[in-house]
Structure 1
């Protein structure tokens, strides 16, 4: 083993030990507290995400190869030049080793998270919805946030578009994990995964249980009395049945179908890949905020795009009845605070993660 290889192994171990302690500590807690049969049932579905992650990675490599073609020096084999660039820039021990570690860990971690989320109502019944409804009105000067959005978004084609963007969150989440798992910017990568793990454990499990709430779309099913979200849900169901060119009546508004699927799973206890009901805090907004933080010191176009996407998720979560506006506000604030706290702890303890040195990109020839 060369000195360079030994240095890469040491760096790989150093930057993953804290992440693995947090991740597998959470998994161990799940193995102690949760039904093992439920974990096994969900693990298979979550493991399938690695197939998608591998596909994303291959598509990236294919795209990079196409980008390299006009940069291959004259007289040199295109295959040899592209392979050399991939090998030295992407297929290094730290990057491939880190990719493997992440994608062996995340499915187990997310499976435990999913079962914890399913168990929330059994630990603590939905009891905070009324307070979050009142908090929303307080924060918005006596107005319901969804009513403030309705003049702009309350048109079927707009609502369908908002729903498409909102559902795109899952693709963004997976893409973000793949991107960071193989990123050469190891300090940013380390902060992302540590914050990611803490957010889902502390906010997505701990806070979600403490502030157990179902969300506006289920308000009328968990809170006795008048449902202030009934007009919103009636509008969304109407959009769900609207005919659009190129779409069947079953396709336009996926949010309604997903909400009904989640409610059925809640009532029957069925284990499925996408499952569990929880409003506060919003994991959609937590991940979207992490995307902004990752892109903040990157290309300007990525920074702007990430901000617009996060804003769309915030607005969409309210308009589609998934979340109270307060869910998103709290998630954004806490995620930013955790990101800054991780940086502060790293500086205070002297814990360093060094970015990987890479050869410069070849010029276009």
Structure 2
């Protein structure tokens, strides 16, 4: 035993303190472990950024922040949502919600400067990953779409029929169309809340990192799928299949995305040139499934059920509205599953927290 450690144990024995491991030393080791998790997470971000830089050099188009200060505005929005979720977290964990002293004590105990630094390290890693994803997705426009191949796959799977047309015949093209359009357009708001919730509501920091890493891997693997099979979607490949749908904002968005893609290909170096459409795989499905994984990881049974229903509706909506081919749906689910394998492995988390237990 080192001399300094031996002296520490002797001092604790003389004072009547337990002679086991030093709690301060254990806490310091836990803290080092958490920062190692952060380093591993950022190593993934760095590798993905290198891929983005290489692609940028290849196509001769610089990284862009759509609509000006998009990244900064998203970080600011995340900060606002984060603060709201922290309030919810403190109210849920405080022994007395009517006592300001109890609430303040919960804030001091749980939201230490170190914990805030760790969770924001994870949130910023997510934002940088998503920014790289957006640019790589835009540059996918230079690849030749393979929508005809995906249409053949769908036709083979559904015995010569279009899965979208089958859904139209089954559900109708009026009320169902409007409900599914609203359902589909709810997705961005769910994402905005889900990833800050992944770090705020986690009891253990390592579970926060496992969730953020899983979401990051889902975006990264989704980007790889875009490049593996470039595509634009059934709404562009087979527009007649969707001619019976009522006029909605969905069609306006699809037309805008195609116009943006055309402008980008015509003038890729224009400052506002940016493409936003790719079909295979469906990351609406992939990210929604990854968010279901968040609830499952934290053993939130009722939340998992609700989010699974949302995922099922998204799977229907994305085909019904023409955004994705049917084969894009299982591909999105597979990407989410792989993201949840790689995420915990990346940050060194082996298992979910035990029910109603767990600390930093």
The interval holding the TM-score normalised by the smaller chain is 0.7 to 0.9
Larger deviation: 260-269 or 293-302?
A: 293-302
Contact 1:162 1:312 in 2 (8 A): yes
1:237-290, CA deviations, whole angstroms, 9 ceiling, x for partnerless residues? xx22xxxxxxxxxxxx33222212211110112676984221101111110111
Report the Cα distance in structure 2 between the residues aligned to 1:119 and 1:304, rounded to whole angstroms.
Answer: 37
Match of 2:241 among 231, 249, 256: 231
The 5 Å alignment of 1:56-67 reads 56-64=81-89
186-195 vs 24-33, which moves further: 186-195
Bigger radius of gyration: 2
The SS at the match of 2:327 is helix
Question: Which segment drifts farther, 110-119 or 35-44?
Answer: 35-44
1:116 aligns with 2:136: yes
Q: C-alpha separation between the residues in 2 aligned to 1:57 and 1:287?
A: 20
1:1-365 equivalent positions in 2, closer than 5 A: 3=25, 6-34=28-56, 37-40=62-65, 44-64=69-89, 71-72=96-97, 78-89=99-110, 91-93=111-113, 95-122=115-142, 124-126=143-145, 128-182=146-200, 183-204=202-223, 206-219=224-237, 227=238, 229-232=239-242, 234-236=243-245, 239-240=246-247, 253-269=248-264, 275-297=275-297, 298-340=299-341, 357-358=358-359
Q: Unaligned 5+ residue runs, structure 2?
A: 1-23, 265-269
Q: In the TM superposition, what whole-angstrom CA distance separates every residue of 1:51-107 from its partner, at most 9, and x where no partner exists?
A: 22112122223445666799347xxxx222112123323x13554223211232233
Give the superposition deviation at 1:324: 0.4
Contact residue 204 and residue 359 of structure 2 kept, 8 A: no
Displacement after TM superposition at 1:230 (Å)? 1.0
Distance in 2 between the 1:20 and 1:45 partners?
A: 21
Structure 1 unaligned residues grouped into runs of 5+: 220-226, 241-252, 360-365
1:209 is displaced (CA, Å) by 1.3
Which secondary structure state, in structure 2, belongs to the residue aligned with residue 196 of structure 1? helix
- TM-superposed CA distance for 1:132, in Å, is 0.9
| Aligned length, in residue pairs | 324
- TM superposition shift of 1:312: 1.0
Q: Is the 8 A contact 1:46 1:110 kept in 2?
A: no
The 8 Å contact of residues 88 and 358 in structure 1, kept in 2 or not, is answered as no
Paired residue secondary structure (2:123): helix
Change in CA separation of 1:353 and 1:169 when aligned onto 2, cut-off 3 Å: same
Whether the aligned pair in 2 keeps the contact of 1:12 and 1:94 (CA below 8 Å) is no
Change (3 A) 1:163 1:94: farther
Q: How far apart in 2 are the matches of 1:164 and 1:4?
A: 50
Does the 8 A contact of 1:199 with 1:335 survive in 2? yes
Report the TM-score, using the length of structure 2 for normalisation.
Answer: 0.79
TM-score (norm. length: structure 1): 0.78
Deviation at 1:178, TM superposition (A): 0.5
* In 2, Cα distance between equivalents of 1:84 and 1:255: 48
Q: Structure 1's 161 and 190: CA in aligned 2 closer, same or farther, altered over 3 A?
A: same
Tell me, in whole angstroms, the C-alpha distance in 1 between the residues paired with 2:254 and 2:271.
Answer: 15
Contact 2:229/2:280, CA 8 A, preserved across alignment: yes
8 Å contact from structure 1 (residues 42, 273) kept in 2 = no
- 3-state SS of paired residue (1:71): coil
Give me the whole-angstrom Cα distance separating, in 2, the residues matched to 1:271 and 1:320.
31
Distance in 1 between residues matched to 2:336 and 2:64, nearest whole Å: 27
Give the alignment's Cα RMSD to 1 decimal. Answer: 3.1
